[in-house]
Amino acid sequence: MRRYSLADRLIGHVDQVVRTLTPQTQPALRANPAQRIENPALNTQQQSVVAGLMRVNHTGEVCAQALYHGQALTAKLATVRQDMEQAALEEQDHLAWCEDRLRELNSQPSLLNPLWYGLSFGIGALAGIAGDKWSLGFVAETEKQVCAHLTAHMQQLPSEDHKTHAILQQMHSDEDHHRQQALAAGGVTLPPPVQQMMQAMSKVMTKTSYYV
């Protein structure tokens, strides 16, 4: 099996960046959980709300890709690096599903995604440098916060929008699974100040991506 150098991995990550930030270039590996659900008839206000929520979720998936890519680049153990790369691959489905729903809502991803990708990649790389147990702990805390956001978003959806709900429900299940995997692999609980910093950054991201 070929062993990739740091330069090889950097080239691979550049390709991943382009694919993540360019719509319709990251095909889902699994079928969209909402593909058989009829598109609901939403009024203008409802459509705007759902589009805003899905734009936030799409940006969250862009950040997730960046975090995993950054952590995979600096992970010390090959097994942890492979786990990060596999998680990013699974999150690719979420990115594609969110893009599908945004197109159906006649909307588009956030224009600020390149900024959030860069910031998240840097944070992920730093987490990997700190050590694998901290990197895995960072994954667990990230997924915990993502699950909380998804739960809140499902509660904000119009009751008739079963299509969006199906997507968010599957995403929630996958994210919680990733959280449990990270903890089982040796992830540690992050210090409260780090958790609070992550929450603050998340709030800025969600508020800006909802509108822009």
| Assigned domain for 169 exists | yes
Return the half-sphere exposure (C-beta side, CA atoms, 13 A cut-off) of residue 71.
Answer: 31
Q: Please write the tens of the pLDDT for every residue from 178-202.
A: 899 888 888 888 889 988 988 898 8
Confidence of residue 172 (pLDDT cuts 50, 70, 90): very high
Confidence of residue 73 (pLDDT cuts 50, 70, 90): confident
Q: Please write the tens of the pLDDT for every residue from 8-37.
A: 666 766 767 766 777 777 778 889 999 999
Question: Percentage of the chain with pLDDT > 70?
Answer: 88
pLDDT beyond 70 at 65:
yes
Question: Percentage of the chain with pLDDT > 90?
Answer: 46
Q: Can you give the pLDDT at residue 112? A: 93
Domain range for 158 is 53-211
What CATH number has the domain bearing residue 177? 1.20.1260.10
| Assigned domain for 130 exists | yes
∠ at Cα 118 (104, 130), nearest 5°? 125
Amino acid at 140: A
- pLDDT average, residue stretch 138-148: 90
Q: Please write the tens of the pLDDT for every residue from 84-142.
A: 777 777 778 999 999 999 999 999 999 999 999 899 888 888 888 888 888 888 889 98
Annotated binding site for Fe cation: 61, 91, 94, 143, 175, 178
| Assigned domain for 37 exists | no
Count of domains in the chain?
1
Backbone φ/ψ region at 72: left (φ over 0), alpha (ψ -120 to 50), beta: alpha
Q: How far apart are CA 13 and CA 99, in angstroms?
A: 21
| Assigned domain for 157 exists | yes
Q: How far apart are CA 120 and CA 134, in angstroms?
A: 16
Any idea what DSSP says for residue 36?
T
| Assigned domain for 17 exists | no
* More confidently predicted of 141 and 68: 141
Annotated binding site: 61, 91, 94, 143, 175, 178
* More confidently predicted of 207 and 24: 207
| Assigned domain for 40 exists | no
Q: Can you give the pLDDT at residue 6? A: 62
∠ at Cα 149 (148, 150), nearest 5°? 90
| Assigned domain for 42 exists | no
Q: How far is CA 39 from CA 34, 36, 109, 166, in A?
A: 9, 9, 19, 12
* pTM for the whole structure: 0.86
pLDDT beyond 90 at 58:
yes
Q: Can you give the pLDDT at residue 144? A: 92
- pLDDT average, residue stretch 135-153: 91
| Assigned domain for 3 exists | no
